[in-house]
Amino acid sequence: MRNAELKGKVVRYPTLNFTFRIPHSAFRIWVGGAMLSIDLKGKRALVAGVADDGGYGFAIAKALAEAGATVCAGTWPPALNIFLNLLERGKIDDSRRMPDGSLLQFEKIYPLDAAYDTLAEAPAEIRGNKRYKDVGDFSVAGLAQRLVQEFGERPLDIVVHSLANGPEVKKPLLDTSRAGYLAAVSVSAYSLVSLVARLGPLMRPGGSFLSLTYMASERVVPGYGGGMSSAKAALESDTRTLAFEAGRRYGLRVNTISAGPLASRAASAIGKIERMVEYYAANAPLTEPLTAREVGTTAAFLASPLGTGITGATIYVDKGYHAMGAAVGTGGLL
């Protein structure tokens, strides 16, 4: 019982012939003289897909920073200047506030359009677009090159894939074009393969990749169309395969979080996200709405030394909704 406080437990010492009780309210387990905690000090994380303070990507970035990691972001070029202005003008300072009163700082913010593995693959009209032409190499390979140039050969410990785009997400699958379907799978699923392929060799030992998925990968969610359900199914399948391949090749872990719906600005593209949130709350075992922070802290755990035994997994963070087999309320959705 060295380094332990056993609150609420009866402790007996037969050889000394006495018994005493430690109050339950004081129970803690200590490891090596300190409380068990998520410690990411000395780690560098890249969160791909942060453009404001309203989504899961930002919440994950903040949780990683709270655990001690330095955090870089990858931002879609059309949203890059908007995000930089939000930061520079203090518009999201309340969201950036850390427990110690300081503000979340991004070590670097890189332009990233994960639809392109290399700059040469981007069409001329994209490379010449006013939102792209002055940001440099915005491809996945360009991101990898910049990281090495600025931080050395092994710059990363954690990579978070918070990327999704379905240009026809409001269309039923039957009405989705081939181009719309392939675009959804390319940006929302294959981009993870591309990130692991190009950033895996840059990861330090024990590194972790993490993505975000959604239950439409395995259940029908009317309104979540345009091939996005297929893209999430591919993402989860690829997570398992990449966990094996990147585990054997690089010693890395690959997991995905299946998060419940969040009424973020990005999710508003679906068109009825608020009603989806209400429906989840009406039918999940835990009825309070899911918060972005709950997903963020789960991500921090999975990326930490506490999660080293977990890879190839889909972790549900949805208040238990995934366990339900029948609806118990409409939540205004139906």
Residues annotated as catalytic (active site), given as ranges: 214, 224
257-to-124, 215, 294, 311 alpha-carbon distances in Å: 35, 10, 11, 11
DSSP 26: G
What are residue 48's phi and psi, to 5 degrees? -90, 115
Question: DSSP letters of 193-206?
Answer: HHHHHHHGGGEEEE
Look at residues 255, 296, 305 and name the one whose alpha carbon lies nearest to residue 63: 296
Look at residues 224, 227, 265 and name the one whose alpha carbon lies nearest to residue 56: 265
327-to-171, 276, 285 alpha-carbon distances in Å: 24, 13, 11
